[in-house]
Chain A
Amino acid sequence: MAIRIEPRDPLTQAQGVEAGYAQTARRWPSQPLLRRPLGASELSGPQQLARRLPPTGGGKLGDLAGYGDKRAIGQLVRLRVRVLDEDGAPLPGTVVEAWHCNAAGKYIHPNDTHDAPVDPNFYGAARLVAGDSGLVELRTIKPGAYPVPDTGGWWRPPHVHLSVWGRVWLSRLVTQMFFPGEPLNEADAILNAIRDPGARERCIARLVPSKSTEMIFEHQLVVRGRKGSAALP
Chain B
Amino acid sequence: MIRLIPTAEMTLGPFFPREFAEGANDLAQGASGEIIEITGRISELDGKALDNVIVEIWQADAAGRFDNPAFPGWGRAATDAQGNYRFRTIRPGAAPGRAPHVNFLILYSGLMRQLQTVMFFEDAADPALNVVKAKERLIAKPDGQNRYRFDIRLRGADETPFFDD
Binding site for B on A (CB under 8 A): 5, 7-9, 12-16, 18, 21, 23-31, 33-42, 44-49, 52-53, 56, 84-88, 97, 99, 101, 107-112, 124-125, 127, 161, 163, 169-170, 172-176, 190-191, 193-194, 199-200, 202-203, 220-224, 226, 233
Contacts and interface: CB of A to CB of B under 8 A. Distances in A.
Main secondary structure of the interface of B (DSSP, over half): loop
Interface in B97-112: 97-98, 101, 103, 105, 107-112
Interface residues of B, number: 68
A56 B19 contact: yes
Nearest to B105: A172
A174 B107 contact: yes
A19 to B, nearest CB: 12
Contact of B17 (A31, A109, A170): A109
- The prevalent SS among residues of A at the interface is loop
Given A26-B155, A38-B165, A194 B8 contact: yes
B9 A173 contact: yes
A127 B16 CA distance: 12
Given A27-B50, A176-B10, 9 more contacts: A25-B45, A26-B45, A41-B95, A46-B73, A87-B4, A190-B112, A191-B10, A199-B8, A233-B97
B155 A224 contact: no
B92 to A, nearest CB: 9
Contacts of B165: 5, 7-8, 35-36, 38, 42, 170
Given A34-B163, A174-B9, A223-B7, A44 B24 contact: no
Contact of B67 (A12, A47, A176): A47
A222 B164 contact: no
7 contacts: A26-B48, A27-B155, A45-B74, A109-B15, A112-B15, A176-B13, A222-B6
Contact of A125 (B19, B50, B108): B19
A163 B132 CA distance: 29
A36 B163 contact: yes
Contacts of B2: 87-88
Q: Give 5 closest A-B pairs by Cβ, nearest first.
A: A23-B110, A33-B164, A14-B112, A46-B74, A125-B17
A191 B7 CA distance: 12
B145 to A, nearest CB: 26
B62 interface: no
A52 B127 contact: no
Interface in B1-50: 1-20, 24, 44-46, 48, 50
Contacts of B121: none
Given A33-B163, A33-B164, A175 B98 contact: no
A215 to B, nearest CB: 22
B96 interface: yes
B10 A41 contact: no
B146 interface: no
Contacts of A203: 7-8, 10
